[in-house]
């Protein structure tokens, strides 16, 4: 008799489980755990494309803000760098900027920089990361006037003797040579892409 009661209880438990499963499936009601898990998954799926979009924008074009003629103007800029030295720390730069204003929207700069590596790293063929403080100067033209001025930057670079990948924030001031032209102060952030020591073999031994 005891065995019969146990079998009946087991059968009743299995029947209840089947009924609950059929109820959830027929009414499209899911337990709270699954609803939360799906919500988190949806949030992650929505954030990933945004992050990729922002990263791609900063990789291709750097946002900039300029103060000129007592006005703030936004724009986009991009710098390509050519470096020399074991870490490409002595750099020449070419930068094009497009400013959202009525006239002289295009700007061009030729620059020279020195990167102070804030971490003791040894020359290597392997890519290495370090915080960097940069000082330099640039020559400027907007194809209507020209000027020159100092600049500083801070960021974190990944580099070796051949390649530079440098997320940074940069501040500079340009003194215009023409009296009719106002000086320019600008702030930009983004990524500098560069190469170093082209056609030069520094004969650095590979270090793992």
Phi, psi of 167 (to 5 degrees): -65, 135
- What is the model's pTM? 0.70
Within this chain, do residues 21 and 67 fall inside the same structural domain, yes or no? no
Residue 203 in any domain: the answer is no
Kindly report the average pLDDT of the chain as a whole number. Answer: 81
Question: Rounded mean pLDDT of 91-114?
Answer: 94
**Distance between CA 64 and CA 67 in Å, rounded?**
10
In a domain, 205, yes or no: no
In a domain, 207, yes or no: no
What is the residue range of 6's domain? 2-58
Q: Tell me whether residue 69 is in a domain.
A: yes
User: What CATH number did the domain enclosing 77 receive?
Assistant: 2.40.160
Residue 6 has pLDDT above 50, yes or no: no
Query: So what's the pLDDT on residue 104?
Result: 78
Instruction: Enter the tokens of residue 7.
Output: 């079998």
- What's the token pair of residue 180? 């009719």
- Domain check: are 98 and 11 in the same one? no
Quote the number of domains for the chain.
2
Position 8 confidence tier, pLDDT thresholds 50, 70, 90: very low
Whether the pLDDT of residue 175 is over 90: the answer is yes
Same domain, 45 and 111: no
Which pair of structure tokens corresponds to residue 107?
């700007």
Lowest mean pLDDT among 15-24, 150-159, 160-169: 15-24
């Amino acid at each position: 008799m005891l065995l019969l009661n146990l079998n009946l209880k087991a059968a009743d438990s299995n029947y209840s489980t089947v009924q609950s499963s059929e109820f959830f499936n027929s009414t499209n009601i899911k337990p709270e755990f699954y609803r939360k898990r799906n919500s988190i998954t949806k949030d992650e799926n929505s954030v990933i494309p945004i992050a990729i979009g922002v990263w791609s924008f900063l990789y291709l074009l750097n946002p900039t803000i300029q103060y000129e003629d007592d006005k703030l103007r936004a724009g986009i800029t991009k710098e390509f760098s050519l470096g020399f030295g074991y870490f490409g720390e002595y750099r020449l730069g070419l930068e094009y900027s497009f400013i959202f204003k009525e006239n002289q929207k295009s700007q061009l700069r030729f620059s020279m920089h020195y990167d102070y590596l804030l971490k003791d790293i040894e020359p290597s063929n392997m890519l290495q990361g370090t915080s960097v403080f940069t000082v330099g100067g640039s020559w400027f033209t907007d194809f209507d006037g020209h000027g020159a001025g100092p600049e500083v930057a801070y960021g974190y670079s990944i580099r070796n003797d051949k390649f530079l990948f440098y997320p940074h924030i940069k501040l500079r001031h340009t003194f215009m040579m023409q009296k009719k032209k106002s000086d320019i102060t600008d702030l930009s952030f983004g990524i500098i892409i560069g190469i170093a020591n082209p056609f030069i073999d520094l004969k650095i031994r590979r270090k793992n």
